[in-house]
Structure 1
Amino acid sequence: MLGPLGNIFQLKDNIKTKRISSYDKTGGNADKIVIPAGETTEIARIDGAGIIKHIWITISTQDPFIRRNAIIRMYWDHEENPSVEAPIGDFFGQGWGEEYNFISLPLAAAPAGGRALNSYFPMPFGDGAVITIENESECDIDSFYYYIDYEVHPSIPKSAGRFHAWWNREITEVHPEEGETEWGVIAQQANNPTDQHNYLFADIEGKGQFVGINYYVDSPGPMWYGEGDDMWMIDGESWPGSLHGTGTEDFFNSSWCPNELYLHPYFGYARIPEKYGWMGRTHCYRFFFEDPIYFDKSLRASIEHGHDNNLTLDICTVSYWYQTEPHKIFPNIPSKALRINMPEITVRDVHKWRHEWRKALGNGKKLWGNESI
């Protein structure tokens, strides 16, 4: 297989390179647009056939949570329902409305401090493309700068799938009777011969191929948040499916409960918590460019939140794939109020947990912390 530079020297006929950007149409230096609070702005409308090759965006606003409060949507070939719908930060690899550097092959958040959002996903269309930004903030986006670089083609092959991206979020529930535990710390763990209670990150109908995921997990406790098997039910098959994983870190191509920054073009950990154990926010990512997940009719993809779904976690994902149209309409994106972060667990909270534990052990004078009830 040729790499990304493998055919750069090949000359092509009947292709034109175009750009839509926020440049100052007067010839001045005010190279930006304003997106008022509560409004949706169309940043690109392209006629005919072509391929979007690169998107660059940077934002200035008084809203510190704009990356979760602004929604990016993309429409192909005059469709009514978007093929891409996600908070703008999450789409480009920035969880929790935060700003931090992120490096991968198709997506990047570049300096200064991750504020430059880039996509290199190729996005083909046969009869038009539209990209919009909805500002659900109470503040105007005072400065929205962007490039959309694309190619104009005479036509697009019928085999060209359309690019899709879907954001999902769930505060997961503890399902097993043994309670919230990993590694059997509290009790022996049960088996999980189903994907019924898993966290769902893809629910697709049509023919296509799954190519990537950004996975943002906020853990309220210090226990390892993983041990969750990824499960793929292709074309309506039953459990255990064609592909069945062995643990969260394995799915993201790492091992042994990592808690360190690591940025590979295809996989990595772009953000890790700075607390005790794995408490706090971790951003994992995985792109399937050498090993896409193919499906002819449908794909249901999910992952356990802890073995046997026994952990309460705040999980948000953006999944990326190509497929034939029409696609299954996405559920309504949760309201702004339902997209806010969960409260941060602090040292004070942990101290209160210890206080309750001491009471459970009779308020002994020299309780250390490793005593069992």
Structure 2
Amino acid sequence: MKGNRLAFRQVSIGILIVALIVSFFQLMPVNATKAQAAVSSKMIVGYWHNFDNGSGFIKLRDVSPKFDVINVSFAEPTSGVTNGTIGFTPYNYTDADFKADVVYLQSQGKKVLISIGGANGQVQLPSTTARDNFVNSVTAIIEKYGFDGLDVDFEGHSLYLNAGDSDFKNPTTPVIVNLISALKTINNHFGTDNFYLTMAPETFFVQLGYSFYGGSCISCDNRAGAYLPVIEATRDILDWVQVQNYNSGPIIGLDNQYHNMGSADFHVAMADMLLAGFPVAGKSNQFFNALRADQVLLGLPANANAGGGFTSVAEVQKALDALIKGIQLPSYQMRSSTNGFSDFRGVMTWSINWDKYNNFEFSPIATGHISML
């Protein structure tokens, strides 16, 4: 996934998709409050590698100014998957220089979050001890480096549902219950007005929950829909969800048809599920209510090598036109709104480092081929 540290692979022209979007995002004002930003701003979120996978190292202060939010990735477990203790050491940095660069970005009006997990950093909190270790270590990391918030990027087998845990509004599986408790505790510690909480789940853990829910189905993967109880329990403090619309199998949308990644249909159908809500596992008495439009971003791979599900410029434009302007697709009609959402939050991409490798080829370009207005 995003954290897969493979050797360098040639970057394709597809990275221009994000380039075409960026110039149309309005940068968040430096003095804007969090509440104002949640309603009025559109943003682009990028992940910054705290490692070198062949795309090259980049100092935080050299990140393209077109990114509004920089997710430092990743903080990872230090003592095994189930201990809960999370560690973070800046790659190719002294602590002092890293802190200075975080402050520099913040002085430019950017938000710098620490992202936990990734493909190589699986985290499980099966006990209250693990929960407390998680809270204490994550809090210490945020305070030490001055991060603006926390991005939860739990992948793989970090989250799952025990058999019989069928009510996503009242979960009983320890790894779910303890994560919810931990996130609330961390958020309360820093205060909701100054702390950002975001999540980057895969479609398997969210939209697949419309068809299958891991705690209630027979012979299905017990991870199916496992993010839903976490999102549900934290929706009042959750700033945004950026589902990874890549590296995904076919997913059934609200039209009860399969949608394949890489198309406008897929992006619109996946976002529509979050904007309209849906019955979990098809059960009307287990309804996942809609998120606000400002809580939803599209997660796009920057190019064909960044993740499966690369989407052409034309298809991205169609998806954004449907979601923001209400220009409906002929093959998928949105259930959430026929007029679109002017406050749809924006776009997330993996990754900032590929931008740097290509000499900032995509982030500064203002071609006008894709419009968010």
- TM-score clears 0.5: no
**TM-score interval, normalised by the smaller of the two chains:** under 0.3
TM-score by length of 1: 0.25
Structure 1 or 2, whichever has the larger Rg, is: 1
The answer to which structure has the higher helix fraction is 2
